[in-house]
Amino acid sequence: MPMYQARRVADPIAQPPAAVSAESAALPARALAHTPRHAVPTFADRAFTKGGVALAVLTAAATAGAVVVGSSGDPAAAVGTALAVPPAAEAAVAAAPAVTSAVAGEKLAAPALGKAKRAAKALVALSPMYTTAQVNVRKSASEKSALLGSLELGVRVSATSDIAGKYRMVEYSDGFGWVLSSNLSDAAPIEAAGTTWATCSRGSSIEGKLRKDTIHIYRSVCALFPAVNSYGGWRAGGLPFHKNGRAVDIMLTPGAESALGHRIANYLIAHAKVFNINHIIFEQHIWTPQTPHWRKMADRGGTTANHYDHVHVAINA
């Protein structure tokens, strides 16, 4: 059996104090960048606008009477005590480029303002931004400063124009705090987007013989990624995943649409529990919930066999 080598491992997250119980959000496996395939604005382009974010799949679900679920079932809380990112991880993230995906996710509420905060707010220039990872909020612009709390991936914050080194001041709770500037973006990352049961605009012919969770994946990816070439579902023969209706192939142009494939893979990873995912394969690498980082696979001898022209996603039985 070939040994898989890790492609990239997420930054370590420090263990929380005994009184705290929260799950750490998974960091994206790779930094992604995507150039839209079409000059004409896509479904996601029209639905998501800077400063006034609305989830495309929520809009589609509202008109179709569908059920929409987030990665945890609820929007991430904008204020609260969560798992802290250790200073060593903060320093590593600061050196990485910020995610600047143009596709937005769910609109998440900013912290409530107290009387003193409202009085001070009039004197501060604020800009809506989104967290691109789980981030620490500190009392001052230093990794040694007191930890006020943390914000989850995809949370909408009001950022000030005050920048000190690698930190930027944002509204937090009833005052202000400092977060790493590299963890803020003008648009919500695609991993923060929700899922949908709304019927795909391409039709439902592919859904024949697919399981419920596989259909959920197909419809959600269809709504968020209109540039996908085509989809593959049930087929006879081969491994049990496709012939049992437990897998979907999301077809792409090899090389030219590599970045799009990684964005889709990261979206699937962010919703692995909701989709009941067993594994994801793309570009000769595999990801599983049990070992949540990319590992190299053995060469199977061809573009399709090595999954360079599609993202393969399979669910548990």
Instruction: Work out whether the CA dihedral 259, 68, 208, 289 comes out positive or negative.
Output: positive
- Is the predicted pLDDT of residue 312 greater than 50, yes or no? yes
Domain regions of the chain by residue span: 87-190, 200-315
Residue range 87-190, CATH number: 2.30.30.40
Instruction: Please state the rounded mean pLDDT for residues 123-143.
Output: 90
Sign of the C-alpha dihedral, residues 98, 10, 190, 232?
positive
Asked if 274 and 281 touch (Cβ cutoff 8 Å), the reply is no
- Do residues 235 and 260 make contact, with C-beta atoms less than 8 angstroms apart? no
pLDDT band at 238 (very low <50, low <70, confident <90, very high): confident
121: pLDDT strictly greater than 50: yes
> Token pair for residue 84?
């802290």
Which pLDDT belongs to residue 247? 97
Average model confidence (pLDDT) across the chain = 74
Q: Give me 105's structure tokens.
A: 């996710």
pTM score above 0.75:
no
pLDDT, tens only, 189-230 = 888 899 999 999 999 999 999 999 999 999 999 999 999 999
Tokens for 104, please give them. 């937005």
Report CA torsion sign: 25, 88, 131, 145. Answer: positive
Q: Is the dihedral of CA 248, 254, 259, 260 positive or negative?
A: negative
* 189 contacts 31 by C-beta, under 8 angstroms: no
